[in-house]
């Protein structure tokens, strides 16, 4: 409604493309054309690969809804019944991949034949004999309508009526040597008839091609050989059909990345040129957010309004858009969920007319919990043990060394092997690291960058020792600081005043005050030395370095406060001992993280902490006449 605040009118759409189309947002400007979409409509790529939620189905839905001049569009989405039939389909004399390829080739041929029968008269004004033959074939085999993939499987397993092509039942085909050869021969006759009809109508030059798309194969896939064979058969069939029908048919396959990456077949190298992987940057997700906000609230909405009036300009010290999209896996579904959750938290839960940083942080907790659960479900088929690995990272820093992870993993290895004996070979330290990297849970430190899986990045290398939990999952795991250092707890200066003359009128007050001030100055000196050492460790992860410096600055502030507010009775010796103990515990924590094993400067920071801890202890128990400098 027009009188509603802007926040109430903004909505970022549904998480799945099918409902997004029904609601209308996707087709009202909520779709953002990307490289995969452009490659699909241009015909340059046949295989669109992406993670769950990366926008494969959105491209498919947009292509189905486009008002382009395609003469026909077909969308094939197998259901569980059809999937089971394909998985179990075998033919004597043919390998499993080749047998299943025949099914898909038949699917493409039937859809093309149906299209030609309806299309010939409407678009070309004539029906050559080849098209009439196809119409007769479809009628004789009950294929004029419906998408009965399961029945097509049955037809190929037995025999087809081929009288339309001049072949009598039981004629030469019966002389073929095997069940597989019989099915292949029948299919070749049908395909040849389809190709001839396309040629007779000159479809390749007269208009755009017939568009045939296959989507949502993950509904019928499992991490078993027969399922992989079903997908390999689809790829082989698509390659065959593209060559057979040429420019008359355009095939588009939408496959989830984990399914495609699990395949291994001899002709896989022939498909690389047809592949395109969907990738999303933070900038692209930001553009998507604006496009969807405009589609829901009105096209006059500006980027400035979205990120200044609807969302707060910043969350903490980070610009809001960067804060949000850094905490999403790089895919539209995650971004849409997070953006909508922020809007609902502010508008529905707190009745605000704009989103606050507190709303974003509250939404982040819920969103992170969703995504951690979703990750285990996304890879449940291939990695059923995944959710049992998450406790290894709970309530600790998000920076994890290989040594620290090895220690944690060894404590649970036997339990994991007992729960998942079939995966014992994969449940090793290196195997676990590879899986967590591949699914996007862990990133690896390379130079000054933290690299997460995606694109053409290398897998984790044996020499790489520093890993980071993706920001998406940190809140749910309680891993919101880099290395979870023990926090320094500064005392109020007054708490360190001992009982006595607060105003320092006793004759010895000056000497105590001078000594106390000098000792606190030595604490400050130690802090500056440690901070300088940390800042010289340029190869140390910035988040870890910042966390160390932040805690040492708290010690420094406490020491400076004691110097300013002491009145002669400050317990400087106690503060020195407390600070020395804190430095020593900090050094032990850093050592336990395993960061000191790498050439990143962490070991030097640990040595400086230990040196300064020893120096402060000596000062607290030493004579008045030395500052401890000679012992450094």
Give the closest residue to 233 by CA, choosing from 103, 49, 48, 91.
Answer: 103
How confident is the model at residue 509, as a pLDDT? 42
Q: Identify the three-state secondary structure at position 436.
A: helix
The beta-carbon contacts of 115-121 under 8 Å, at least 24 apart in sequence, are 115/71, 115/72, 115/74, 115/210, 116/194, 116/197, 116/198, 116/201, 117/144, 118/72, 119/71, 119/72, 119/201, 119/210, 120/197, 120/201
The CA R_g of the chain, rounded to the nearest whole Å, is 34
Dihedral sign from CA coordinates of 623, 626, 631, 632: positive
pLDDT of residue 140: 87
Give residues with Cβ within 8 angstroms of 543, minimum separation 6. Answer: 398, 399, 482
Cα(341)–Cα(336) distance, integer angstroms: 8
Tokens 């390998």: give the residue.
Answer: 95
Which secondary structure element, helix H or strand E, spans residue 314, and what is its range? Answer: strand 314-315
The alpha helices in 47-95, defined as continuous H runs, are 56-65, 80-88
Supply the pLDDT for residue 452: 92
* CA–CA separation, 238 and 102 (whole Å): 11
CB count within 10 Å of CB 527 equals: 24
- Which is nearest to 282 in space by CA: 332, 239, 242? 332
Domain spans of the chain, in order of start: 6-14+281-378, 35-277, 386-477, 493-631
Asked if 91 and 183 touch (Cβ cutoff 8 Å), the reply is yes
Q: What SS3 state is found at 281?
A: coil
Q: Strand locations in 67-133, DSSP E?
A: 73-76
> Tell me, what's the pLDDT at 626?
42
**Dist. CA 39–CA 521, nearest whole Å:** 66
Cα 145-147-151 angle, rounded to 5 deg: 100
Q: What pLDDT sits at residue 369? A: 96
Strand duo 442-446 + 466-469: pairing: antiparallel
Distance CA 119, CA 261 (A): 38
The kind and range of the H/E element at 211 are: strand 210-214
pTM of the model: 0.80
- The residue behind tokens 């010796």 is 573
380, 386, 385: which is closest to 417 by C-alpha?
385
Contact 186, 159 (CB under 8 A): yes
Instruction: Give the Cα separation of 477 and 408 in Å (integer).
Output: 15
Helix axes 80-88 and 225-245, enclosed angle (nearest 10) = 90
Q: Which residues of 574-594 are buried (b: 16+ CB within 10 A; e: fewer)?
A: ebbbbbbebbbebbebbbebb
pLDDT of residue 495: 46
Residues in the chain predicted with pLDDT less than 70, given as ranges, are 1-2, 17-18, 20-30, 67-68, 80-81, 146-158, 168-177, 455-456, 490-514, 563-570, 598-599, 622-632
How far apart are alpha carbons 64 and 389 in whole angstroms? 41
Q: Alpha-carbon distance 152 to 623, whole Å? A: 96
Cβ atoms of 62 and 26 within 8 Å: the answer is yes
Residues with Cβ within 8 Å of residue 398, at least 6 apart in sequence: 468, 469, 471, 474, 477, 479, 480, 481, 482, 543
With contact defined as beta carbons under 8 Å apart, do 596 and 602 qualify?
yes
Give 349-352's long-range contacts (Cβ < 8 A, gap of 24+).
352/7
The predicted pLDDT at position 623 comes to: 38
């Amino acid at each position: 409604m027009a009188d509603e605040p802007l926040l109430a009118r903004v909505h970022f759409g549904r998480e799945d493309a099918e409902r997004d189309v029904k609601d209308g947002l996707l087709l009202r400007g909520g779709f953002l054309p990307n490289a995969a979409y452009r490659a699909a409509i241009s015909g340059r790529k046949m295989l669109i690969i992406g993670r769950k939620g990366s926008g494969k189905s959105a491209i498919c839905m947009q292509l189905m809804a486009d008002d382009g001049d395609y003469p026909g569009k077909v969308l094939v989405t197998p259901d569980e019944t059809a999937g089971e039939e394909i998985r179990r389909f075998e033919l004597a004399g043919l390998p499993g991949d080749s047998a299943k390829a025949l099914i898909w080739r038949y699917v493409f041929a039937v859809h093309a034949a149906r299209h030609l029968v309806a299309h010939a008269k409407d678009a070309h004004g004539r029906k050559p004999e080849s098209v009439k033959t196809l119409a007769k074939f479809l009628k004789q085999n009950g294929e004029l309508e419906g998408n009965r993939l399961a029945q097509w499987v049955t037809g190929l397993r037995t025999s087809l009526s081929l009288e339309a092509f001049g072949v009598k039942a039981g004629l030469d085909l019966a002389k073929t040597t095997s069940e597989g050869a019989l099915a292949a021969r029948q299919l070749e006759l049908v395909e040849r008839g389809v190709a001839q009809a396309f040629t007779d109508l000159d479809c390749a030059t007269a208009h755009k091609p017939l568009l045939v798309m296959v989507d949502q194969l993950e509904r019928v896939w499992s991490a078993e050989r027969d399922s992989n064979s079903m997908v390999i058969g689809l790829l082989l069939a698509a390659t065959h059909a593209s060559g057979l029908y040429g420019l008359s048919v355009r095939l588009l396959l939408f496959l989830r990345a984990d399914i495609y990456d699990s395949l291994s077949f001899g002709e896989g190298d022939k498909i690389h040129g047809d592949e395109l992987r969907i990738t999303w940057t933070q900038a692209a997700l930001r553009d998507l957010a604006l496009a969807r906000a405009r589609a829901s609230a009105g096209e006059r909405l500006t980027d400035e309004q979205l990120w200044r009036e609807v969302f707060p300009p910043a969350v903490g010290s980070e610009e809001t858009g960067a804060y949000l999209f850094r905490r999403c896996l790089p895919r539209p579904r995650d971004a849409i969920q997070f953006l909508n959750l922020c809007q609902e938290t502010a508008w529905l839960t707190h009745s605000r007319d704009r989103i606050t940083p507190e709303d974003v942080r509250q939404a982040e907790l819920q969103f992170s919990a969703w995504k951690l659960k979703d990750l285990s479900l996304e890879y449940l088929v291939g990695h059923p043990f995944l959710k049992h690995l998450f406790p290894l990272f709970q309530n600790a820093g998000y920076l994890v060394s290989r040594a620290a992870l090895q220690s944690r993993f060894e404590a649970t290895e036997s339990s994991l092997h007992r729960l998942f004996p079939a995966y014992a070979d994969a449940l090793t330290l290196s195997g676990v690291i590879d899986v967590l990297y591949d699914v996007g849970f862990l990133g690896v430190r390379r130079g000054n960058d933290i690299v997460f899986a995606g694109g053409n990045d290398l897998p984790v290398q044996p020499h790489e020792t520093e890993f980071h939990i993706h920001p998406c999952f940190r809140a749910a795991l309680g891993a919101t600081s880099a290395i979870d250092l023990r926090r320094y707890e500064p005392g109020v200066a007054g708490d360190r005043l001992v009982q006595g003359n607060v105003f320092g009128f006793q004759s010895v007050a000056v000497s105590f005050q001078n000594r106390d001030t000098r000792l606190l100055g030595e604490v400050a000196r130690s802090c500056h030395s440690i901070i300088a050492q940390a800042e010289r460790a340029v190869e140390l992860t910035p988040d870890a370095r910042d966390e160390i410096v932040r805690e040492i600055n708290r010690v420094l502030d406490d020491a400076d406060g004691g110097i300013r507010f002491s009145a002669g009775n400050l317990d400087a010796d106690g503060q020195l001992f407390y600070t020395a103990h804190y430095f020593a515990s900090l050094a032990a924590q850093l050592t336990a993280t395993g960061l000191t094993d790498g050439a990143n400067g962490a070991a030097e920071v640990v040595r400086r902490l230990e040196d300064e801890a020893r120096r402060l202890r000596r000062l607290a128990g030493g004579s008045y006449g030395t500052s401890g400098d000679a012992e450094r």
